[in-house]
C-alpha cells in the first residue's frame, strides 16, 4: 500500500514528508533524483552527484542505486 506520494515537491514539503515518514518508521521510503553519497562510518562509501534511487528501509538502513551498471552502496543508519 502506498502511504503517500509527492511529485516534484517544494523543498519544505519534501522535508516535512520525509521527517514524518522517518519518525514513524512505519514504511519504506523511496526517493528518486540527483544525489551525492558521502558516508564516513564503518562501511564508508562515496559516490559523485548523479541520478540515484535512494531507499530508506524500516530498519533505518539506507540503500542507493544508480541506473548505470550495478553500482550501489548500502549504508547503515547507525554504526552499531
Dig out the grid coordinates for 34 from the structure. Answer: 540527483
pLDDT number for residue 13 = 93
**Residues 22, 31: contact at Cβ < 8 Å?**
no
State which residues form the domain around 50. Answer: 27-75
Answer whether residue 20 is part of any domain: no
> What pLDDT band is residue 10 in, cutting at 50, 70 and 90?
very high
Answer whether residue 3 is part of any domain: no
- pLDDT tens per residue across span 29-76: 888 888 888 888 787 888 888 888 888 888 878 888 887 654 444 444
Task: Report the domain count for the chain.
Answer: 1
Answer whether residue 8 is part of any domain: no
Answer whether residue 15 is part of any domain: no
**Residues 50, 34: contact at Cβ < 8 Å?**
yes
Cα 49 from Cα 64, distance rounded (Å): 12
Strands 72-75 and 29-39 turn out to be unpaired
Query: pTM here?
Result: 0.64
Amino acid at each position: 500500500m502506498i502511504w503517500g506520494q509527492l511529485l516534484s515537491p517544494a523543498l519544505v514539503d519534501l522535508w516535512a514528508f520525509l521527517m514524518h515518514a522517518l519518525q514513524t518508521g512505519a514504511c519504506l521510503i523511496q526517493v528518486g533524483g540527483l544525489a551525492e553519497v558521502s558516508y564516513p562510518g564503518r562501511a564508508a562509501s562515496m559516490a559523485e552527484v548523479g541520478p540515484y534511487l535512494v531507499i530508506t528501509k524500516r530498519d533505518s538502513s539506507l540503500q542507493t542505486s544508480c541506473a548505470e551498471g550495478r553500482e550501489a552502496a548500502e549504508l547503515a543508519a547507525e554504526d552499531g
